[in-house]
Amino acid sequence: MSSVTRRQFFIEGGKAVVGASALAAFLAACGEAPAGSSATQDITLKYWTLGYQPGGANATGKLTDAAIAAYTKKHAHTNVKITGYTGDNAGFTKVTQAVSGGSSLDLFRFPADNLPLLVKQNLVQPIDDYLTADDKADLYPNLLDAIKFNGKTYAWPLWVPPVGMYLNLDLFKERGVPVPDDNWTYEQFVEIAQKLTFTRANGQKVYGFTGAIDPDLVNTWPIIMGDGGVPISTDNKKYMFDSPEAISGLQKLADLALKYKVTPPDFGTQSPDDIGTGFSQHKNYAMYCAPSGDSGGYASLGMNFTVKPMPIGKLGKHLTTGGIGLIAVAKSSDTNKLKATMDLARYLTGSEVAKDVPKYYLAPGARKSITVTDPINKFTPFVEYTYLMPLIASWSQVRTLIHTHIQNAVLGKEKPEQAFKAPADEINSILADNQ
């Protein structure tokens, strides 16, 4: 996720204090190579990346190919072999096995949720020795802190896809509803959603709001957390969604379906793909919440949409949820290869690649120096107040338990208080075992 830099040497105004060959020899003796320098011998690095399809078969494939081509053009002795994998359990298992094998890959783009287990198994390389002062000043501090384990940083932050509220502006225009400002409250959001819930003359029903509720997603969690609730304590030892603030937030989410009736009948069980189609093509969802990744597709369709921050709850300030995209480096005893791998990882998560490959970043970058293009830039202001999901090995298990009860509350099967108190003992037991 963000860039990786090894120690950089700055030579003022062309005054070479040490000749190039002497400098190289000195650095070699110290176990270092000049940042960005090419190896004197050919080296092949194996890069695994989520969702990549070769030959430009998809957007990730095109952008990754372009980034690697730009890098290898500048580093004549470095070859990079790219492997794609799927974003499901089978794909993650394949990557984990490859990392465990020790020779199948050198660096990989990986969901943050899966990083703690690899750290625990001592399969990934800390990057602290390769972080420069410039890196530390450029990277958002909260992102570096989020990927520290026992005081060490174990991946390069690439980007943060925060959740925002997508608005279909054609539907706003059709109903004569003004677009809200960025500081809209939950109550204002409900009022707007009610105005945008209607039936057309041809019988087509339009709903003011929807959102995906799924064990792998936290798209609707900003509404739950908007009153001040958090899922677990900051030390990752105690379940906290049974607090009055979290229960109040879950009540607000459930009310959208059960009290205000601004959501479709299958709210709580919809797939993200169905929601996206309904929002953009069928135009029967006026608003929905999701991360930044959806926005590029709508822009390419020429859709009339915008993105707003999530509505403000009792917390009284903006809050959203999200995760971190990472590039991790596999553990290696080959010092030279490790340096080359870190250099590539730094490039793939930095501002240089953004200049070389327009629209490379599919989410706001993890560095302040990275400028993303429209419509991704609509999400950039959200990064500084994004609640990042806990990076603990058991988080997927905890999140799945929480999801079941959120879904029950939205479907009217459990009252919000019951829903969030029910899993407390089991989750606290899991968190205790995680220590």
Most trustworthy range by pLDDT among 12-16, 144-148, 182-186, 233-237: 182-186
- Measured on CA atoms in the order 288, 293, 298, 304, is the torsion positive or negative? positive
Is the model's pLDDT at 406 over the cut of 60?
yes
| DSSP E strand stretches across 15-54 | 43-50
Contact predicate 373/358, CB 8 Å? yes
Q: Where are the domains of the chain?
A: 44-154+325-365, 163-322+392-434
| Average pLDDT estimate for 110-137 | 90
Sheet with 287-290: list strands edge to edge. 210-211, 287-290, 164-168, 305-308
Report cis status (omega within 30 of 0) of the bond before 375: yes
Q: What is the pLDDT of residue 104?
A: 87
Banded model confidence at residue 313, pLDDT cuts 50, 70, 90? very high
Q: pTM for the complete prediction? A: 0.83
Pick one of 2.60.260.20, 3.40.50.300, 3.40.190.10, 3.30.950.10 as the CATH number of 44-154+325-365: 3.40.190.10
Q: Per CATH, the architecture of 163-322+392-434 is what?
A: 3-Layer(aba) Sandwich (3.40)
Residue 294 token pair: 């959806």
Tell me what percent of the residues of the chain surpass a pLDDT of 90: 74
Alpha-carbon separation of residue 261 from 35, 89, 252, 304, 308 (angstroms):
58, 35, 12, 25, 22
What span, in angstroms and rounded, lies between the C-alpha atoms of 248 and 229? 8
| Average pLDDT estimate for 166-171 | 98
pLDDT digits (tens, 9 = 90+) for 361-379: 989 999 999 999 899 999 9
Q: Do domains 44-154+325-365 and 163-322+392-434 have the same CATH topology?
A: yes
pLDDT digits (tens, 9 = 90+) for 13-43: 222 333 333 333 333 334 444 444 444 579 9
